[in-house]
Amino acid sequence: MNLIQAFKMAFKSISSKKTRSFLTMLGIIIGVASVVVMVSVVSGQNRRNMEYYEKMGDNKVNINANSYTGQDMDQILNDFILRLGDLVVGITPNVQAWGSEMIIKYGAKSYSTQNWENWEDMVQVVLGNDQYGLCNNYQLGGGRELSYLDIKNENSVCVLGGGLKEKLFDYTNPVGETITVNGMPYLVVGWYQGKDVEYSPELDNILLLPYSLNRTINKNQTISSWSVKASSAAATTQVITELDGFLNGMFPKDENGMRQGGDFYVGSDNKWQEQMQQASLMQTLVMGGIAAISLLVGGIGIMNIMLVTVTERTREIGIRKAIGAERRSIIVQFLIEAAVICGIGGIIGIVIGCMGSLIAGKFLLQGMILWPTQSITIGAFLFSVVLGILFGMYPAVKASGLQPVEALQAE
């Protein structure tokens, strides 16, 4: 018997008992569909989280440092960053105006920094330098960044985040227009493209001012927060190490573990990305393992039904062996039949899993289009076929071991 005949016989056997064949496939269908949906959801969630961090900016080092003795940490850190050379491409103060309410107006439109009832419209006033966009992964949509002279001369200029630009100016170009902040005029010199991070509109509702205005905007509150842009992921780790060592030297711990002269924190979002990837991988493995239980149950069902098939076809097996059929051909025939059942079940499961992924993306991930990757679908199909072969092996071997005389006498 050649393989083509074996496949024809397998399909004939399956089609002759459609209901039983479908019920046999059901465990495989449920298992494959579950694996596809679960892995797709976890992958989609991980992709969304990674997109968030990418929009926040890769290779970004966050620094918080306070000197209790009144040292100018801004100048100290800038001088130290210069010593790091090509490891760093930019540094900016990252100061937020948290004081009294600030009202931003343009014409009849008005927005507040303390609109807690409608936080999606709340504006965040930030103070930075000419490298603020670079360090915080903002892309210019028009105009220019703040300049060195804007900082030095304390110019009343600003750069708008994409969200604030749309709120104040809709689709018109705001460059050259003047807005007011608590009645004081500020010239718009540029605007950033929107990051469009879901549930984080504050990232786009920013108003960037020169940090040299800190003494008037923040009543000369000490600058204690900076963002540093490293040149690469490897450089990020080295920059964190260098900064940590430098600040540890400035603010050493005493015998009680308390820092002297100040305190600091140095960290990077890269670490959170790595931890999130590890957590997602673990979640994928756990959920995939749970779904695999359905596949194993389905495999047991395949073994059971193949044993029933062997019993039903005992006389057929006896006739084939009596006319010279080899054990190998009997084994191949039953293995192909088990593999075909599982393969068909796997295909149906993949189709259901694809539809389930789309539905899950719509309701669980706020409309995100989830579509299983090619590797997931091919892997699920091959796994279902292999499962059929593994669980079909025992019935196939049992069938091939029947003695022709005993098989022909079976009722």
Q: What is the pLDDT of residues 53-87, one digit of tens each?
A: 666 667 889 999 999 988 889 999 999 999 999 99
Q: Is 70 exceeded by the pLDDT of residue 323?
A: yes
pLDDT of residue 82: 93
Q: Is residue 60 part of a domain?
A: no
Query: Domain end: 209, 235, 260, which one?
Result: 260
Q: What long-range pairs does 400-407 form, CB within 8 A, spacing at least 24?
A: 400/327, 400/328, 400/330, 400/331, 400/334, 401/327, 402/314, 402/317, 402/318, 402/321, 404/318, 404/321, 404/322, 405/318, 406/318, 407/314, 407/315, 407/317, 407/318, 407/319, 407/321
- State whether 34 and 93 are in the same domain: no
Domain boundaries, position 243: 69-260
pLDDT of residue 397: 80
Query: Domain end: 225, 260, 295, which one?
Result: 260
- State whether 43 and 78 are in the same domain: no
Q: What long-range pairs does 322-330 form, CB within 8 A, spacing at least 24?
A: 322/404, 322/408, 325/1, 327/400, 327/401, 328/400, 329/1, 330/396, 330/399, 330/400
Q: Is residue 57 part of a domain?
A: no
Q: What is the pLDDT of residues 253-303, one digit of tens each?
A: 888 878 888 999 998 876 666 666 677 777 777 776 776 777 777 788 888
Q: Is residue 267 part of a domain?
A: no
pLDDT of residue 98: 73
Count of the separate structural domains present in the chain = 2
Closest among 383, 362, 364 to 36, alpha carbons compared: 383
188 Cβ partners below 8 Å, 6+ apart? 143, 157, 158, 159, 160, 174, 175, 176, 177, 178, 179
- State whether 345 and 386 are in the same domain: yes
pLDDT of residue 47: 75
Cα–Cα distances in angstroms (integers) from residue 125 to residues 113, 159, 202, 230, in the given order: 7, 10, 10, 25
- State whether 47 and 86 are in the same domain: no
Cα–Cα distance, 346 to 383 (Å, whole number):
8
pLDDT of residue 297: 78
Q: Is residue 28 part of a domain?
A: yes
The two structure tokens encoding residue 113: 């920094």
- State whether 303 and 168 are in the same domain: no
Query: Domain end: 191, 226, 260, which one?
Result: 260
Q: Is residue 19 part of a domain?
A: yes
Closest among 259, 250, 298 to 33, alpha carbons compared: 298
Q: Is residue 268 part of a domain?
A: no
Burial 347-363 (b: 16+ CB within 10 A, else e): bbbbebbbebbbebbee
Closest among 203, 206, 207, 140 to 180, alpha carbons compared: 207
- State whether 138 and 231 are in the same domain: yes
- State whether 185 and 105 are in the same domain: yes
- State whether 303 and 393 are in the same domain: yes
Q: What is the pLDDT of residues 134-165, one digit of tens each?
A: 998 899 999 999 999 999 999 999 999 999 99
Of the pLDDT bands very low, low, confident and very high (cuts 50, 70, 90), residue 405 is low
pTM metric for this prediction = 0.65
Beta-carbon neighbour count of residue 8 at 10 Å? 12
pLDDT of residue 109: 93
- State whether 76 and 223 are in the same domain: yes
Q: Mean pLDDT, to the nearest integer, of 35-56?
A: 75
Beta-carbon neighbour count of residue 318 at 10 Å? 20
- State whether 188 and 115 are in the same domain: yes
Q: Is residue 74 part of a domain?
A: yes
pLDDT of residue 410: 52
Crossing angle for the helix pair 374-400 and 18-56, to the nearest 10 degrees: 150
- State whether 250 and 293 are in the same domain: no
Q: What is the 3-state secondary structure (H, E, C) of 78-97?
A: HHHHHHCHHHEEEEEECEEC
Q: Is residue 227 part of a domain?
A: yes
- Residues 56/137, Cβ–Cβ less than 8 Å: yes
196 Cβ partners below 8 Å, 6+ apart? 55, 162, 204
Average pLDDT of the chain? 84
Q: What is the pLDDT of residues 349-372, one digit of tens each?
A: 999 999 998 888 888 776 778 888
- State whether 289 and 160 are in the same domain: no
